[in-house]
Amino acid sequence: MIPLASRTARRKTETTLLSYSRQGLPRPARLYSSPTKRASAPTLDAVPSTLSDSFPAFLPSLSKFDSDGTGDSSDMVTFLRSPTPYTVLPPPLPLDKRVDGGDTLYTDTPTRDYIAVMDACLHNGYDVPRAKEIFDDLRAKQSQYVFHPRLYTTFIEAYLNMAVQEPEKKSLWVEDAWTLLDTMFSGREKVAATTSTYALALLAWLRYSSENSPTYIDGITSHTPSSLLTGIVDNQLSVATVVADRAITSSEEAHGIIQALTKVAVQLNYPEIIRELGQAEAMASTAPDPLSGVPEAAPVTVSTLLMNEDGTSTGETQTEVPFNLDTLRKHLAHVSLARRVLAEDLAARQKVLEDSVYDVSVQRMRRQAEIFQKIGLGGSALKQPDLQLWMWQWHQQLHARLKEDIALLRKQEESTKTKPQQRLVPFLSLIKPDKLSLITILEIMRLQGTGGVADGMKTARGLVAVGRAVELEYKAQMCKKNNITVPSSTRSGEQGFFSRFSYQDLHARRVTARKYMEDAEEWTSEWTQVLRVRVGSFLVDRLMEVAKVIRTGRDKRTGEPVEEEQPAFTHSYEYLRGYKLGVLKLNPAVAERMAKDSMRDTMHPRHLPMLVKPKPWLNYNEGGYIYNKSHVMRFKDSQEQQQYLKHASSSGNVELVYAGLDVLGSTPWQVNRRVFDVVLQVWNSGERLGKVPPAVHDEPEPVKTPEMEVDQKARSLYVQRQRQWLVNKANNHSDRCSVNYKIEIARAFLGDTFYLPHNLDFRGRAYPLPPHLNHIGDDLSRGLLLFGEAKPIGERGLWWLKIHLSNLYGYDKATFEERVTFVDQHLDDIYDSADNPLTGRKWWQAADDPWQCLATCMELKSALQSPDPLAYECALPVHQDGTCNGLQHYAALGGDARGARQVNLDVTDRPSDVYTYVGNMVEKRMREDLEKDPNNQYAKLLVGKVSRKVVKQTVMTTVYGVTFVGAREQIEKQLKDRGDVPLEDCYMAAAYLAKQVLQCIGTLFQGANDIMNWLTACARIIAKSVPGDRVTAAMELDLPPARARRIPPAGTTRLRKEQMTAVVWTTPLGLPIVQPYRKVKRKQIMTSVQSVYISDPNAPAEVNTQKQASAFPPNFIHSLDATHMLLTALECRTQGLAFASVHDSYWTHPSSIDQMSGIIRDTFIALHSSDVLRRLLDEFRERYKGYKVPVASLKTSQILKQLGITEAATETASRRSKAAQAGLDLATIDAIEEDDEPPAEVVDRPPEVFVLTKEQLLKLLRPSRLKRVKQAEDGTESVPEETLEGKFVDLVDLLPPVPTKGEFDVNKIKSSLYFFS
């Protein structure tokens, strides 16, 4: 158990838990239990059904929500305006400055490799002496990574097991165990004793110090049950939990410990302990009965003789239920956690789903192979080779090969003095060879077509994926080993989430459940990328050697059939974007079968939905799937982000983030059977429809023309078209495999209610963990999904369902009434689409989202034709989408009235469409270009073809920092999809159009540009800074290490190496965001497949200043829209609404849209009423207090160019005036740097360090100096940089003020009909 931060915090937690344990007794299921009643939200009939002049009809009346308190958002507003707790950690040290054994926060790769070897050697007692050697060495080096209670108890347990396995060395192993126990009891190494510690100590005493023990060792320890019980009481641990700890595996030993402790408790006069032990023994003798009211079966009993006080037998017997340790643990799970365990039937199915995926795959493949053999179709007799038969043959051969090679490798490693971190056998022995074989085959087949490689994958990606899959399977086995009781769902949220009590309650519940889970699980370590590559290489190399396929064909000369044995997987090199890249390729025959055959045997449960509600997020690495380990955030190989989240979680700063993810994961789903039947019919037909690609690529291959022989341009055009045709053909195959996955998963879950566990990306955006079939997927995925619960649609729900259908069809920029009219006018087409989707007029196929449109057509027809349309039970999700949500956040941040009107924040009669507006601006500019130059080729080609769809993505991503190259690629893709622009002209036409679009946008959203510039300026300053305690080290001379490949110029300082500061900020919900952008340093790993280069997340390099700066605006906005989504999810749970989201698209039942629309507006207003930018500036000032920015890194000339100042000798007053107009002060302007840094100055000794004030900096960077900088750029004069070397300025002094806010009042959103629609 992990102790709370203070005695006060402990008391608060105990008080909270006590209050919950007394509610509703004797029913103890309160913690993490399902909602028992509907939240006290307004009923459906309370929602107005007609439009009101005073208040939008789809928004709940404020008075109604205030009257019962359900919709009162004052707690949320108070929470968002209160100070956000920051998680502040130092940046990682440069790699060459790390002490031996690793940093206290950021452990290096060699140390992690040692720890992984130690873990593997401990597993099943593989090599405990070697593990002990590594452990003692790391402790001697004071490596902070090993000072963890769970690791200490793992070693104590291993020592006690070794005492049983090696009786001749029993005394030595037990002595080692007591030595480690004494270390924990004394606190010498700052590792606190836990429940498991005392359980192991009692076990050791019972086995080796109890005089009645057959393995008694005299004088091995001075500890007695009396001293141990005193320690348990002093540490405020539950004695019953100690007895039920997983370390005690024998019911007889647990019973003996209870008897010894009871005797001691009597002697020490501990009545509470006596009572607790008595209850524990009683609970362990009574099996819990989950079926209340059902007669019990008579329990199995044992007969015992009754004894007299003098120890003689009375001759009489009595029967009793024997002591059972598992029963005790199950009781404690009910009582101490006070929550329901998983429903037995669904839990069993989910356990099978996660537990035996490889066993099921093997059984199914073996069965199919036996069937083929019986009917004489084994081996090459199959005219159409079957994928499962091939996989079974590969598995048999690879299994045998792995057993042989692992045995040989074990002998080799034992006979030679191989370094511990270079050994592979300990890791290959964690999982049996048959599972290693299946993991390798399934992972390689799953990754085909990824990373831009047709019918294959990048070698590095494949090797890492196989290694990671082995690691995850090992950890899943450790989770399953102890049969842990799992929390089933979060609290209902009926009382809200944002009050102080609710937040503390969330924290108390999570801490209690987390401690229980940690104490019940065995310790495991994280593998490094290097280790994953080495394990993956060993397995993939063997797979490529043994896996073969028989390909058949016909001889072109004789026409006779021929066959040839070929490798199923091969390694080769390809050029991708100018880089030579190692790839693993599937044999064309295998790739072809993957697009046709069933894919269910290639599915791992971590890629599937769940049959039960996901495990609540209890920690940064505990939640989601029951057994398969997941992290709450996708770290992008950033050790720094992981450490920030770990510390924020332990401090209780991210409770609402965890709660929001639990809300998203607890939304039930089901497969839309009617749509699935149509999809399956289309799939089996092999025809193209919507997102279902054809079985055979249907695009005609370019034809060679006679002109190619003499016309170079014609030949070049043919080559270009042929290359694009091959790419499209490969993409068609890849898409076919992807759709195959979706269909197989949907088919497997037909008739089931399932759930999608969620986690976050590093910006805080939520994504489902199952990657193939989820609501964030494409139109086909969304069309296949329904909510798991249906609700009466009602009058307003029917109205919204029609609007939803209009939106999906593409008629989404009209008023609501016009959209409803549009649907009413097409009811005949809608009915025809629902009844005859593939044989009728196919109206639905012309929709923007055809599969979702078909699902809505079917639902609308069913509702309208039901006996009572308003009572129709509807499970179809209806969406409310933001209008260019990034621009909405920018407009609200800056109070930009003009921008607010463009993105529907302001009140308008009709919805504004910023994409159409920009498209019309571009059309106008192109016509003007044609008037100036009638021969303008691209203006002439594009006039009349610039639809909103062509410019939509570019407009949307402009506020996220899209570059010209990115805009050109986006527009080029849209032009190709249109098909009316010649392929050879798409590139140059897209370049011309991108320039026009970016120029139009620049003048339209000036407020957004001001905020983007401010965010970029802050990020550049931060990325150039150095912590105050590292300034002296930054001025040391950069001396090359021994055997350095790249030797720095003599006399340069370490300044650039010390610039390790990433941009970090905290969302309003307390989530720390760390930008992971650092300069790429790849590590070469020699493998049997090829030499692999990977980035090592445990060896961070200095930050990439340009990437930190350019990515900050979009990442910050993404963190805001993620916060808005989580706030909305929590409020919807409070008011009893089903909720799902796709970033800025929020889903609920049709009848709940009015209520959710009000919540969306309330949460957005509350978020932007908290002065977000000022709070961000305050956080930067607090977080980076004491950080210094080198004056040599300040680039004044770049800022002058950005501000349009062309004369370097401009007067100071003029410069200040232009700076004020841009919202920046002079120091800030001078601080922002260019991409190209000047070379570092050569010095003969470390320069002195001077910290300048802001006034001194302004004097140093005077206008005359700026003039000389400009002249230096012209080559007319050089600037002496020696005056800047060693000079620093406080980062806080350079931070620019927040841009002046405009006049737009964010509260107007409340009356905006089309804000989200």
- Tens of pLDDT, residue by residue over 3-48, are 333 334 333 333 333 333 323 323 323 323 333 333 333 333 333 3
Q: Which of 283-297, 571-585, 1012-1026, 1087-1101 has the lowest mean pLDDT?
A: 283-297
Residue-wise pLDDT for 1084-1124, tens only, equals: 777 777 777 777 777 778 899 889 988 999 999 999 999 99
Residue 734, both tokens = 């890849």
Q: For 749-849, where are the alpha helices, taking DSSP H only?
A: 779-783, 794-809, 816-825, 827-835
pTM of the model: 0.78
Kindly indicate the confidence band of residue 507, based on its pLDDT and cuts at 50, 70 and 90. Answer: confident
Query: So what's the pLDDT on residue 1276?
Result: 43
Q: Is 881 a catalytic residue?
A: yes
Least confident range from 295-304, 666-675, 816-825, 1188-1197: namely 295-304
How many C-beta neighbours within 10 Å does residue 422 have? Answer: 10
Residue 952 annotated among the catalytic residues of the structure: yes
Nearest to residue 123, comparing CAs of 169, 158, 156, 149? 158
Q: Report residue 729 CA to chain centroid gap.
A: 32
Of all residues in the chain, what percent carry a pLDDT higher than 70? 75
What pLDDT does residue 462 have? 87
Which range, 997-1006, 1078-1087, 1136-1145, is most confident?
Answer: 1136-1145
First-to-final CA distance of the chain: 48
1085 vs 955, residue with greater confidence:
955
pLDDT digits (tens, 9 = 90+) for 671-710: 999 999 999 999 988 888 877 888 888 888 888 888 887 7
The structure tokens listed for 511 are 């801490």
For residue 1233, pLDDT over 90 is answered with no
Burial class (CB within 10 angstroms; exposed 0-12, middle 13-18, buried 19+) of 803: buried
Residue scoring higher pLDDT (585 or 355): 585
Tokens linked to 794: 């009602």
Residue 1292: is its pLDDT beyond 70?
A: yes
Q: Residue 564: is its pLDDT beyond 80?
A: yes
Q: What pLDDT digit, counting tens, does each position of 448-503 carry? A: 767 667 777 888 888 888 998 888 888 877 776 665 555 555 455 556 777 776 77
pLDDT band per the 50, 70, 90 thresholds, residue 1218: very low
In the numeric block, which tokens belong to residue 915? 């994409």
Over residues 382-404, the mean pLDDT reads: 77
> How far, in Å, are 142, 532, 624, 937 from residue 969 at the CA level?
52, 35, 37, 20
Q: How confident is the model at residue 521 (pLDDT cuts 50, 70, 90)?
A: low
Alpha helix ranges (H) inside 1184-1262: 1196-1202, 1212-1221, 1226-1231, 1254-1260
> DSSP 3-state assignment of 434?
helix
pLDDT, residue 336, reads 41
Tell me the per-residue pLDDT of 881-890, one tens digit each, with 9 for 90 and over.
988 888 899 9
- pLDDT at residue 133 is higher than 80: yes
Highest mean pLDDT among 116-125, 802-811, 908-917, 1280-1289: 802-811
- Rounded CA-CA distance 118/103 in Å is 19
Q: Per residue in 805-838, pLDDT tens?
A: 999 998 988 999 999 999 999 999 999 999 999 9
Residue owning tokens 């400055």: 97
φ, ψ of residue 493 in degrees (nearest 5): 80, 15
**Would you say residue 61 has pLDDT above 60?**
no
The DSSP code sequence of 607-645 is GS-BSSPPEEEEETTEEESSSS---SB--TT-HHHHHHH
**What is the Cβ-side half-sphere exposure of residue 567, based on CA atoms within 13 angstroms?**
14
Q: Can the peptide bond before residue 26 be classed as cis, meaning omega within 30 degrees of 0?
A: yes
Q: How far is CA 1039 from CA 35, 1026, 1053, 1054, 1198, in A?
A: 64, 19, 9, 9, 32
Query: Which residue matches tokens 């769809």?
Result: 949
pLDDT computed for residue 26 by the predictor? 30
- Burial (CB < 10 A; 0-12, 13-18, 19+), residue 1080, is exposed
Vertex 257, ends 252 and 263: CA angle to 5°?
130
Q: pLDDT: is 376 or 402 the higher one?
A: 402
Question: Which of 778, 881, 1171, 1305 is the catalytic position?
Answer: 881
CA–chain centroid gap for 1087, Å, is: 29
Are the beta carbons of 1229 and 1196 closer than 8 angstroms?
yes
Strands 1082-1086 and 1145-1148: unpaired
Q: Do residues 1231 and 1020 touch, judged by C-beta distance below 8 A? A: yes
| Position 279, amino acid | Q
pLDDT (tens digit per residue) in 304-339: 555 565 556 566 655 555 555 555 545 445 444 433
Residue 779's pLDDT band (cuts 50, 70, 90): very high
Query: Are residues 206 and 198 in contact, defined by beta-carbon separation less than 8 angstroms?
Result: no
**Per-residue pLDDT tens digits for 232-277:** 888 888 888 888 888 888 888 888 888 888 888 888 888 888 888 8
Q: What is the pLDDT of residue 101?
A: 44
Q: Is 289 a catalytic residue?
A: no
The confidence score (pLDDT) of residue 588 equals 82
pLDDT at 562 over 90: no
Specify burial of residue 722 (Cβ count, 10 A radius: 0-12, 13-18, 19+): middle
Q: What is the pLDDT of residue 606?
A: 65
Q: How far apart are CA 222 and CA 209, in angstroms?
A: 9
What does the DSSP assignment read for 972-994?
HHHHHHH--S-GGGHHHHHHHHH
Find the catalytic residue in 245, 355, 896, 1144: 1144
SS3 of residue 1093 by DSSP? strand
* Cα gap 20→16, rounded to integer Å: 6
Q: Measure the CA–CA gap between 784 and 746, rounded to whole angstroms.
A: 8
Q: Report how far residue 299's alpha carbon sits from residue 426's, in angstroms, rounded to the nearest whole number.
A: 44
Choose the catalytic residue: 952, 1057, 1188, 1270: 952
**Residue 252, CB half-sphere, CA atoms under 13 Å: how many?**
2
Q: How many residues comprise the chain?
A: 1317
Confidence category of residue 1137, pLDDT binned at 50, 70, 90: very high
Mean pLDDT confidence for 1259-1263: 65
Q: Residue 908 burial by CB count (10 A; 0-12/13-18/19+): exposed, middle or buried?
A: middle
Mean pLDDT score across all residues of the chain: 77
| Cα atoms in the Cβ-side hemisphere of radius 13 Å centred on 355 | 11
Q: Which residue has the higher pLDDT, 1267 or 282?
A: 282
